[in-house]
Amino acid sequence: MLEALRYTVFAVFVAAAALAFGARAVQTRRISPFSRWARIIRGVSDPVLQPIERWQLRSGGNPQNAPWWLLGFALVGGILIITLAEWIATMFGRVGEAVSGGVRSTIRLLVYYAGQLVILALIVRVVGSWFGVGRYNRWMRPAYYLTDWIVGPLRRVIPPIGWIDITPIVAWLLIQFLLLPVLLGLL
């Protein structure tokens, strides 16, 4: 099933690339805008590109860049879809193994996923701080709530290096290489 998804995503990417390059060829007049091929290309690409062009206009961008945005959306979206599908398949495989392994395996899996959730919250917290989104933003509160128990005490012990706060990195290292292996070893 994952193989079929990969081929489908690749086919969508190839179609988006053909639309993007065709529309760009008409825009740059490599294909005469009055030719039969240009009408065919515009007939196929305009329904796809016009929403992107409108979005570009609303956000203050150049609508002539819509073909490249289409190509980027297809590439990044395809990578995200494949990654998400592989993650879901792996998760269901692990859950199936844990359930068949008994209560101890299920508890180990829950501890592992709780640790991964805290690591994800650390990453969200760091990336949010890069964009100036702080702890009082409603979307960032869960990340701070999940990570304050480890970042707060570390911040009192580890001083910042210049203007860089390294406590989230130290917290990640502690969770990844100390806390999770110790907890999973005890279970």
Q: Indicate the pLDDT class of residue 12, thresholds 50, 70 and 90.
A: very high
- Answer yes or no: are the C-beta atoms of 170 and 158 closer than 8 Å: yes
Contacts of the segment 11-15: beta carbons below 8 A, 24+ positions apart: 12/74, 12/78, 13/74, 13/75, 13/78
Q: Which helix (H) or strand (E) holds 132?
A: none
Q: Please tell me the predicted confidence (pLDDT) of residue 8.
A: 93
> Given a cut of 80, is residue 178 above it in pLDDT?
no
Side chain identity, residue 155: R
- Answer yes or no: are the C-beta atoms of 154 and 170 closer than 8 Å: yes
3-state secondary structure (DSSP) of residue 164: strand
Can you tell me the distance from the alpha carbon of 48 to that of 45, in angstroms, rounded to the nearest whole number?
5
The structure tokens listed for 32 are 């005469």
SS (H, E, C) 22-35: HHHHHHCCCCCCCC
> Given a cut of 90, is residue 30 above it in pLDDT?
no
Q: What is the pLDDT of residues 84-139, one digit of tens each?
A: 999 889 888 888 888 888 888 888 888 888 888 998 999 999 888 888 888 888 88
Can you tell me the distance from the alpha carbon of 53 to that of 65, in angstroms, rounded to the nearest whole number?
8
Q: Within 13 Å of residue 61, how many CA atoms lie on the same side as its CB?
A: 13
Residue 164: phi and psi, rounded to 5, are: -100, 125
Domain boundaries, the chain: 1-101, 102-187
Residue 63: DSSP 8-state:
G
CA nearest neighbour of 168 among 138, 147, 137 = 147
